[in-house]
Amino acid sequence: MEIKKQLEQALAAIHEALTQVVTPNDLADLKAKYLGKKGVVAEWMSAMKNLTPEERPAFGQLVNEAKNRINDVIESFRQKMEDRRVAEKLANEAVDVTLPGRTIPMGSKHLINQIIEEVEDLFIGMGYTVKEGPEIEQDLYNFEMLNLPKSHPARDMQATFYITDELLLRTHTSPVQVRTLLENGGKKPIKIICPGKVYRRDEDDMTHSHQFTQIEALVVDEYVTLADLKGTLLTLARKMFGDDRQIRLRPSYFPFTEPSVEVDISCYQCHGKGCPMCKHTGWIEILGAGMVNNAVLEATGYDKTKYQGFALGVGVERLAILKYGIDDIRAFFTNDLRFNRQFK
Residues that bind ligand PHE (CB under 6 A): 172, 174, 216, 254, 257, 288-290, 311-313
Which of 67/170 has CB closer to ligand PHE? Answer: 170
- In the complex, the smallest distance separating the C-beta of residue 299 from ligand PHE, rounded to whole angstroms, is 16
Which of 27/146 has CB closer to ligand PHE? Answer: 146
Which of 10/219 has CB closer to ligand PHE? Answer: 219
Which of 114/160 has CB closer to ligand PHE? Answer: 160
| CB within 8 Å of 325: residues ≥ 6 apart | none
- In the complex, the smallest distance separating the C-beta of residue 121 from ligand PHE, rounded to whole angstroms, is 20
- In the complex, the smallest distance separating the C-beta of residue 312 from ligand PHE, rounded to whole angstroms, is 5
Which of 111/312 has CB closer to ligand PHE? Answer: 312
Are 122 and 216 contacting, i.e. CB atoms less than 8 angstroms apart? no
Distance CA(160)–CA(210), nearest Å, equals 10
Report the DSSP pairing between strands 257-266 and 129-130: unpaired
CA-based nearest residue to 181, from 145, 206, 212: 145
**Rounded to the nearest 10 degrees, what angle do helices 56-93 and 24-35 cross at?**
180
Which of 7/289 has CB closer to ligand PHE? Answer: 289
- In the complex, the smallest distance separating the C-beta of residue 145 from ligand PHE, rounded to whole angstroms, is 13
Give me the residue whose beta carbon is nearest to ligand PHE: 313
Q: Which CB contacts under 8 angstroms, 24+ apart, belong to 203-211?
A: 204/330, 205/330, 206/327, 206/328, 206/329, 206/330, 207/329, 208/329, 209/317, 209/329, 209/330, 209/332, 209/333, 210/161, 211/333
Could you give the count of Cα atoms lying within 13 Å of 194 in the half-sphere of its Cβ?
27
Which of 168/311 has CB closer to ligand PHE? Answer: 311
Distance CA(159)–CA(116), nearest Å, equals 24
Report the DSSP pairing between strands 129-130 and 190-199: parallel
Which of 311/326 has CB closer to ligand PHE? Answer: 311
- In the complex, the smallest distance separating the C-beta of residue 180 from ligand PHE, rounded to whole angstroms, is 13
Are 132 and 176 contacting, i.e. CB atoms less than 8 angstroms apart? yes
- In the complex, the smallest distance separating the C-beta of residue 240 from ligand PHE, rounded to whole angstroms, is 17
Distance CA(101)–CA(173), nearest Å, equals 47
CA-based nearest residue to 313, from 249, 254, 241: 254
- In the complex, the smallest distance separating the C-beta of residue 98 from ligand PHE, rounded to whole angstroms, is 59
- In the complex, the smallest distance separating the C-beta of residue 315 from ligand PHE, rounded to whole angstroms, is 8
- In the complex, the smallest distance separating the C-beta of residue 181 from ligand PHE, rounded to whole angstroms, is 13
Could you give the count of Cα atoms lying within 13 Å of 66 in the half-sphere of its Cβ?
27
Which of 31/318 has CB closer to ligand PHE? Answer: 318
